[in-house]
Amino acid sequence: MPKIIKKNDISDAPILCITVSSPNCEEQVELPVEEIEAVNEFDQAAVQQAQTILASAQEEAAACLAAASQTAQLQREEAHKEGHQQGYAEGREEGLEAGYKEGMDAAVQEMQTKLQDAIAKAEQILVTAEQQAKDIVIGAERHIIDISMAMVSKILAREIEENPMVVLPIVTAALKKVRDQEQIEIRVNPEEYHLLLQARKDLQLVLGREQALQIVADQTIPAGGCIIDTAYGSVDARIDTQFDTLRKALAEVIP
């Protein structure tokens, strides 16, 4: 079963490490270094792209707020100036005060509106950027899972081809799930049929008693796996089925 270790924090570039346990459980098959490095480089690139988007959005949001603040300050100064001019033009102290207050009130109102609009725009910029960054990382994780599964599948296929004995622990593990059944049929790839016949006594010991155990060659079963049929159901221990289960489990973890 592949073991995937990842760090998902955008601030800390994730590194993907994969170790494949051989089905015979006696050794570990590690992916070639260059393949792991290729996956890690892809992961790093996705994280860097996400970080760039967030940094750019933060700069844009800050610039938006700064521009709004500067505009508001200029409007306030202009309102202050216009208020005094209006008061002097009317030639009355009351006019001076009234003009100043009227201009300032209008400027404050417009300034508040512009600042609120700028804040809303800045927040939207950040929200959009965060979603884009998240989508990039999630997309990268999904792609990395696909790459990793393909590499693991290739490694296991080679291991099965070079060492046919790997099917035995898989069959043994599946048998343990149905050891309470009386009638058991093991369907395996024809290339592994004679191997299981030779191991029949050992497989019988797994069951713990003299159940009827039948071994059948089935061309629909890929090498390295098996299907065990009983009167009450089946155990699907084919390699591709286990991979599908793993893929679905990983897909549930990623949004």
How do residues 207-232 score in pLDDT, each as one tens digit? 887 768 999 999 999 999 999 999 99
Predicted confidence at residue 80, as pLDDT, reads 59
So what's the pLDDT on residue 252?
A: 76
Question: What's the pLDDT at 118?
Answer: 72
Contact status, residue 167 vs residue 196, Cβ threshold 8 Å: yes
- Residue 24's pLDDT is 37
pTM of the shown model: 0.50
Low-confidence ranges of the chain (pLDDT < 70): 1-43, 45-47, 49-50, 57, 61, 65, 68-69, 71-108, 110-111, 114-115, 211, 254-255
**Contact criterion met (CB below 8 Å) for 238 and 226:** yes
pLDDT of amino acid 190: 96
Ranges in the chain annotated CATH 3.30.2320.30: 164-253
Which superfamily is assigned to 164-253 in CATH?
Answer: ATP synthase, E subunit, C-terminal (3.30.2320.30)
Residue 21 main-chain phi, psi, to 5 deg: -80, 125
pLDDT tens string 38-66: 556 656 766 676 677 777 767 776 777 67
Closest CA to 30 of 156, 144, 143: 156
